Chains A and B, each alone.
Chain A
Amino acid sequence: MKESVSTQAPKVIKRLQFSLLNAQDTVQLSEFQVTHRDLYTPVDRLPVKDGVLDRRLGTSEKNAFCETCGMSSVDCVGHYAYIKLVVPVFHIGYFKHTIAILQAICKTCACVLLDGPERRAFLKRFRRPGLENIQRQALCKAVNTAARKVVYCPYCSATNGAVKKVGALKIVHDKFRAKKTADEMEKWKRSFAPAIDAQKELGMYLKRAVHEELNPLKVLDLFRRISDEDCELLGLRPEFGRPEEYIYQYISVPPVCIRPSVAQDGASNEDDLTVKLTEIVFTNALIKQGLSKGAPTAQFMEHWEFLQLSVAMYINSELPGVPSQAGQKPIRGFVQRLKGKQGRFRGNLSGKRVDFSGRTVISPDPNLRIDEVAVPERVAKILTYPERVTPHNIERLRQAIRNGCGVHPGANYVTAGSSGFKKFLRFGNRNAIADGLRIGDTVERHVINGDIVLFNRQPSLHKLSIMCHRARVRPWRTFRLNECVCGPYNADFDGDEMNLHVPQTEEARTEALELMSVKNNLVTPRNGEPVIAAIQDFITASYLLSKRDTFFDRRQFTQICCYFADADLQIDLPPPTIWKPVRLWTGKQIFNVLMRPNKQSKVLVNVESKCNRVDEPDPKHYAMKPLPDLSPNDGWLVVVNSEIMCGVMDKATVGGGKKKSIFGVIMRDYGPHEAAAAMNRVAKLCARWLANFGFSLGINDVIPGPILVSKKDVMVEKAYAECDNLIAQAKKGLLENKPGCNQEQTLEALISSVLSKVRDEVGKICMIELSHHNAPLIMATCGSKGSVINVCQMVACVGQQIIAGKRVPDGFQDRSLPHFPKKSKEPPSKGFVRNSFYTGLLPTEFLFHAISGREGLVDTAVKTAETGYMQRRLMKALEDLTTQYDLSVRNSAGGIVQFRYGDDGLDPACLEGDAQPVEFERSWKHALSVSGRGGRPLLPFEILEVVDRELNTKRFTNECTAAYIATIRGFITDNVVHRLAKMRKAHGMFEALERFEEWDSDTDLSMGATVAGKKLVDNVGRVTEAQLLCFLHLCWVKYVKARIEPGSTVGAVGAQSIGEPGTQMTLKTFHFAGVASMNVTLGVPRIKEIINAAKAISTPIISCKLVTADSEPSARIVKGRLEKTHLGDVAAVLEEAWAPEYTYIGVIVDMDAVSKLQLELTLDDIKWAIVNAKKLKVKQDSITIIPRRNRLRIYVDGSDKYYRLRELKRLLPDVVVKGVPSIERAIINIKEKDDAKGKKGDKELLVEGYGLQKVMITEESGIVGEHTTSNHIIETAKVLGIEAARRTIINEIQFTMSSHGMSIDPRHVMLLGDVMTYKGFGMWCTPASGRYRYTCKMNHLFDNMKPSCCGFSPQRTLGRKAAPQRM
């Protein structure tokens, strides 16, 4: 058997260095020179000697042997040969670099075109130790740009022009491009004069000859002459590669085994590489022949070009500029072999195929535990685990061997420990083998119950997509899992298939069990909410069971209690709720028993939370302001010591996604095992009970009652009338425009709101009018499936169909369908469906609904591809970040990204509160209830003393941060001590917040309060020492548990936490808060913009705080100052004036309008605006101002006066005279709620466009600069610095996610922000940055970079497990 865990540490690759394969090396590692173009001899079809299939290169045939090493095709690794090219050719991979180098050197003396000081400065920077690849590239670029500008070589004074690529593989040197070299060009041209005189035809070619062609021969000569020092300036390191090696002179012929021939009945099929190689050999031979025979130059050049092209195709067949022959399948060059998902890197090195795995359809089984998976017997007989024989298992393994391969608890192979000899158990005498089994042997036995397996469903978007289950071998053919575990896999049972893997070593099993087991992954690391929880029918059943009016007699109650266990559980029956006239138990008591089946159980759940639907109790009906407990629909859950006081079990209380659900609470307080056990009980109970009770949906459930029908009709008619009214008003132009909207947009917004309101209202009526036994209604109320809108659509009204965020657009001329009048804006013609699915849709309605449905499908399809790519890029950017022993986050190269993970070193998966380790309120109640009320009540000052004493103990001071201790103290002081003191005071007792010297145990601190008063205070505010200590202990334990472990893969988890919710987002834009017209991009496109740090984003918005936030007029003034005003807006007249001595354009400024617009604009400003407008080219002194008459005159002179004047007149109205030109528009927004930048109702200015700096510094314009933010990351980085950019990234991602209703722990987003900014400049997660990380991209192989090889992906590529930890 192969040793899976090696005891001998292999050699470690520390560094990789790419270099160029030069001619010497090529020849040195070769066996011979390839000269023959034929592949096989014509007679016996053997490989031709000195051909590209020569046997000395190895062989791909089974019955032949390599002629170099004499081994068979299995053992021979292959040998190389070479082709000597007669003329050099460019290497396509280095073509770009060749051009770049040519641009930087003198085309005469081959020196880098930089003068002494500059050259030295660059050299110094290149020689800096520890230079990173990005900086190196930036330097190369800088050298290139500097050198390109030089026209005269500083060393030989030769003229240098631009070097350009012409066609696919041709480089030309445009020597006399610079204007100042015009005379030289003339001179150069004149030098041809005698020749032209002699031969007239030459003249027409002279122009073409100005572009000097740089053919490989010339380039080679130049490159050879570059000095080593100059190489450094070009970003090369001469010890690893010199520029002349960029040009091919000798081509290495790879071994046959990488390009095997496929023999097919007589003929053989050759690999693309082989074909290309023969082509190269052939062309090479042709050229050689031509040279020796003296063939015409044109022919030679043609052959040379063909050779060039063949060599290029050999390396990279996807050449831009080379037309691929249509109908012919593109050949697979080297680049194609390596690149892409199926390429060598991603397909074979990073991703490999595995053994010991299985895949089949999944189906549900609520009787399995949540951490189990049912494995079909036939699968279990194939997948094996190699178990070492010990004295404890020898009998069992003997039996397995006797059973052999065909009978289930059997075995497939036995390996003797002594010899390592492996026996297959299908044949041979199994009994004899079993009897001869010795301790130390290894038996590959079948998978049995309790074995550890990994279970996975694609797409594996987060770490919960592959979890560790216990196998349970069952009959039939599907994998089965508990429905509760569908959530993290995102699995359903409509034909989904899943994969199963069997870890093969004890180490792997342990690791899987600890890190990946279902029980340890009940919560998502995204935000610590439970993901494994009751779903669908479980929720329905729980809801029906726990409704207030379910009563059971003793027989029923005990029967139901038996449902949730397998007769292996002691169940203590609680006393009934109703004792007289008959003994009855309520449904809630079932859940009491379920949470805590017997008195021995320590699970005491304490929780108070909202249910899925809460109806607030009406305060008018109650004497005192009622607590939410009194909710008429039982929508408030209170559980005290595992007894449900009120509330139902629905989505919010037994489902996933809520930290305060029953399972979430049990998990935090009593550990995942208890939570899983409770979930197992719920699954069994619900499945069994609901199967008996029955829950079905029929046509009856969607038939509306007469009241509902009439009410709905009235409402729809009213809405139609309202819309008609709006349309009529809009026609007359009487609608008041919404900010930033025109009449049409305002009308659309109003109609949309009317129509969406009507559907919501009809939905509400449905909820009231339908019977509460209606199945869809029950499902919508308890949240198990569907929503109110879905019920409404089936029963009453389907509602408005939305396409691309708007009502149905016009598909015909001025109308959506020919069924409607032209220009009709009425609801039915724009896609409002008033029918329900029950009544049936009209043909037009049906079509609109189908359009909308199609859009949804397309959207999902597009979305999956896009988010997948986004996820991949996020992962590539963050994959190697881990926490170290000092809780800092570092990458694999040891670079620090965060000094302390998330600033507090806490694990998002272990946080109980909202990004806090402890939910104080609930923990306090829990501590009060759990510790009981026995013992002496403490006085307020005593409480403070106990708290201080405890918080000063070592365990608190050593383990917790000061900030955390302060929050604990703050909580107790505010919520416990002061409350108690206030209550004491109200009932006439001494507050006792401080201890006084003279008090002793006899001092009466109640100051003679009544007995009833004391009892009340005792009831409400009693705190004992035991309770207090219990609470403090909880706080400590939870904090310590929540600390992140060193070595956590925070980067990968963070990337998944941001990428995975992306798949749930729809690609829609959202409305910006308050302003209908100002949409901001949200969803996947926005996240993409953020992580790419796109330069041009679709909705750049700068939000500004105003100095006077409460005044509308001043806001308008500021708006006027920022928004651009064109000259055309303020000019009353633009006139031409022609006179013999002068011509001018006269501008008459309408100062009245200027003052009305509250623009502070003077004629001088306008003059300067015109002068500064570059396009106009108006000189300052050609403008005169006539202030009295508000006039400007722009004088025009020169020969082409007329055209110049016309041009000016055309351009002048567009001159921006006021405001920031890069701003599109500004909108005054009224805040909807308080935040850091102001109160509710404050005005703020939202500016659409770029130019943060200009907006900020127009201080006198009434904007508070320090409260001005932009959503544009690059701009923020430029204007405010990289820290501000980090903040913007974090805020923008959080904003985008939260507007889609998704919560992500701030720590993940912070990590992403830090990764993008920690180097001080943007490291955006673009595909290019993935390339830099040496993943699977080709280009950088050619980029001559120093690849890092310690990251995660590089390590995988090198075949190792993970990055070595640097401590």
Chain B
Amino acid sequence: MSSASSSIVFNDIFTINNIDKDGKKFDRVSRLYARSRNYDMDMTLDYNTELFPVSKGGTIAMALASSLSRDSGQAGGGAEGADVEDKDVWRPDGKGRKGLEEDYDYVMYGKVYKFDGGNAETVTVYASFGGLLLSLTGFFRHMANIVLGDPIFILLRK
């Protein structure tokens, strides 16, 4: 688990159980079903198969981060200025803090939009990356740092 001061809100290694269980519906996008090694979490993720080809049985390292800066996302001084810069980080000439993506192969940016369940210990977090969905199911304590409605990065490495 990431430290509180890091911008990483979740981090684990997943084993891919299956791909496109419901049938392949799209040419360039598949849905992978994976289970985490450390925290007993289940994940489904839509990903671009051309950019990040994975196969059944493979393992991937996955991280969810609130920003791409290597250190804390929130704690940085002058939050206002940082936010404005963070918005344009993606631009080729963009300023702002980044660096985290250097460790990963495939990075997407999106938003946490739903929490399902709340009365039991198992909850599911839904995040959408421009329509590519992530669902992360597991014990709620492991997802304490994920905040509903916040922008989020998903970083993957084979």
* Nearest CB on B from A616, distance (A): 10
Docked complex: A245-275 residues within 8 A CB-CB of B: none
* Nearest CB on B from A596, distance (A): 14
In the complex, which residue of chain B has the Cβ closest to the Cβ of A982? B119
Contact A580 B106 (CB under 8 A): yes
In the complex, which residue of chain B has the Cβ closest to the Cβ of A589? B130
Contact A579 B90 (CB under 8 A): yes
In the complex, which residue of chain A has the Cβ closest to the Cβ of B50? A551
Contact A551 B28 (CB under 8 A): yes
In angstroms, Cα B50 to Cα A551, docked, is 11
* Nearest CB on B from A1325, distance (A): 52
Known: A548-B132, A623-B137, A986-B120. A578 touches B108 (CB 8 A): yes
In the complex, which residue of chain A has the Cβ closest to the Cβ of B111? A643
In angstroms, Cα B127 to Cα A76, docked, is 85
In angstroms, Cα B23 to Cα A952, docked, is 55
* Nearest CB on B from A162, distance (A): 83
For B148, list chain A residues within 8 Å (CB).
Answer: 933, 1019-1020, 1022
Contact A1016 B140 (CB under 8 A): yes
A576, A647, A933, most chain B CB atoms within 10 A? A576
In the complex, which residue of chain B has the Cβ closest to the Cβ of A1022? B148
State which of B27, B131, B149 has its C-beta within 8 Å of the C-beta of A587. Answer: B131
In angstroms, Cα B130 to Cα A640, docked, is 12
Contact B131 A645 (CB under 8 A): yes
A104 CB-CB contact with B under 8 Å: no
State which of A575, A629, A1016 has its C-beta within 8 Å of the C-beta of B126. Answer: A629
In the complex, which residue of chain A has the Cβ closest to the Cβ of B47? A578
State which of B105, B109, B131 has its C-beta within 8 Å of the C-beta of A575. Answer: B109
State which of A575, A622, A983, A1013 has its C-beta within 8 Å of the C-beta of B137. Answer: A622
For A982, list chain B residues within 8 Å (CB).
Answer: 119
Contact B144 A1016 (CB under 8 A): yes
A618 CB-CB contact with B under 8 Å: yes
In the complex, which residue of chain A has the Cβ closest to the Cβ of B23? A632
For A645, list chain B residues within 8 Å (CB).
Answer: 111, 113-114, 126, 128, 131, 133
Contact A588 B130 (CB under 8 A): yes
Contact A933 B149 (CB under 8 A): yes
In angstroms, Cα B140 to Cα A564, docked, is 43
In angstroms, Cα B130 to Cα A589, docked, is 6
For B140, list chain A residues within 8 Å (CB).
Answer: 1012-1013, 1016
For B69, list chain A residues within 8 Å (CB).
Answer: none
Known: A983-B119, A1021-B118. A622 touches B22 (CB 8 A): no
* Nearest CB on B from A624, distance (A): 5
Contact A986 B119 (CB under 8 A): yes
For A582, list chain B residues within 8 Å (CB).
Answer: 51
For B29, list chain A residues within 8 Å (CB).
Answer: 548-549
Known: A587-B131, A622-B42, A1012-B140. A579 touches B108 (CB 8 A): yes
Chain A residue total in the interface (Cβ 8 A):
58
* Nearest CB on A from B27, distance (A): 5
Known: A548-B26, A615-B22, A632-B25. A624 touches B113 (CB 8 A): no
In the complex, which residue of chain B has the Cβ closest to the Cβ of A1016? B140
For B146, list chain A residues within 8 Å (CB).
Answer: 1019
B122 CB-CB contact with A under 8 Å: yes
Contact A1016 B133 (CB under 8 A): no
Chain A 901-917 interface 0/1 with B at a Cβ cutoff of 8 Å (1 = within): 00000000000000000
In angstroms, Cα B135 to Cα A632, docked, is 13
In angstroms, Cα B45 to Cα A548, docked, is 12
Contact B131 A622 (CB under 8 A): no
In angstroms, Cα B109 to Cα A643, docked, is 13
In angstroms, Cα B96 to Cα A206, docked, is 124
* Nearest CB on A from B39, distance (A): 12
B54 CB-CB contact with A under 8 Å: no
* Nearest CB on A from B95, distance (A): 14
A581 CB-CB contact with B under 8 Å: yes
In angstroms, Cα B89 to Cα A632, docked, is 32
For B107, list chain A residues within 8 Å (CB).
Answer: 578-580
State which of B22, B101, B126 has its C-beta within 8 Å of the C-beta of A618. Answer: B22
Known: A624-B124, A1016-B144. A586 touches B132 (CB 8 A): yes
In angstroms, Cα B13 to Cα A84, docked, is 115
* Nearest CB on B from A464, distance (A): 34
* Nearest CB on B from A940, distance (A): 14
For B90, list chain A residues within 8 Å (CB).
Answer: 575-576, 579, 583
Docked complex: A528-587 residues within 8 A CB-CB of B: 546-549, 551, 575-587
A576, A579, A638, A772, most chain B CB atoms within 10 A? A579
State which of A549, A581, A983 has its C-beta within 8 Å of the C-beta of B27. Answer: A549
A634 CB-CB contact with B under 8 Å: yes
A1236 CB-CB contact with B under 8 Å: no
For B85, list chain A residues within 8 Å (CB).
Answer: none
A617 CB-CB contact with B under 8 Å: yes
Contact B113 A640 (CB under 8 A): yes
B117 CB-CB contact with A under 8 Å: yes
* Nearest CB on B from A1015, distance (A): 5
A1011 CB-CB contact with B under 8 Å: yes
In angstroms, Cα B18 to Cα A618, docked, is 14
In the complex, which residue of chain A has the Cβ closest to the Cβ of B98? A579
* Nearest CB on B from A1047, distance (A): 45
In angstroms, Cα B101 to Cα A549, docked, is 23
In angstroms, Cα B25 to Cα A1226, docked, is 51
Contact B122 A624 (CB under 8 A): yes
Contact B87 A627 (CB under 8 A): no
For A576, list chain B residues within 8 Å (CB).
Answer: 90, 109, 130
In angstroms, Cα B148 to Cα A804, docked, is 58
B6 CB-CB contact with A under 8 Å: no
In the complex, which residue of chain B has the Cβ closest to the Cβ of A932? B149
Contact A772 B108 (CB under 8 A): no
A1017 CB-CB contact with B under 8 Å: yes
A1241 CB-CB contact with B under 8 Å: no
- Ranked 6 nearest A-B pairs via Cβ: A577-B130, A632-B22, A623-B42, A586-B130, A1012-B144, A645-B128
Q: A621-B33, A626-B135, A633-B25 are in contact. List 20 more A-B contacts (CB 8 A).
A: A549-B27, A578-B107, A579-B107, A580-B106, A584-B51, A585-B130, A589-B130, A589-B131, A622-B42, A623-B124, A624-B117, A624-B122, A627-B126, A630-B135, A640-B111, A646-B131, A929-B149, A1015-B144, A1015-B147, A1022-B148
> Can you offer 10 A-B residue contacts whose CB atoms are under 8 A?
A576-B130, A577-B109, A615-B22, A618-B21, A621-B18, A622-B137, A929-B149, A983-B119, A1011-B144, A1016-B123
Question: Which of A's residues lie within 8 Å of B, judged by CB?
Answer: 546-549, 551, 575-589, 615, 617-618, 621-624, 626-627, 629-630, 632-634, 638, 640, 643-647, 772, 929, 933, 982-983, 986, 1010-1013, 1015-1017, 1019-1022
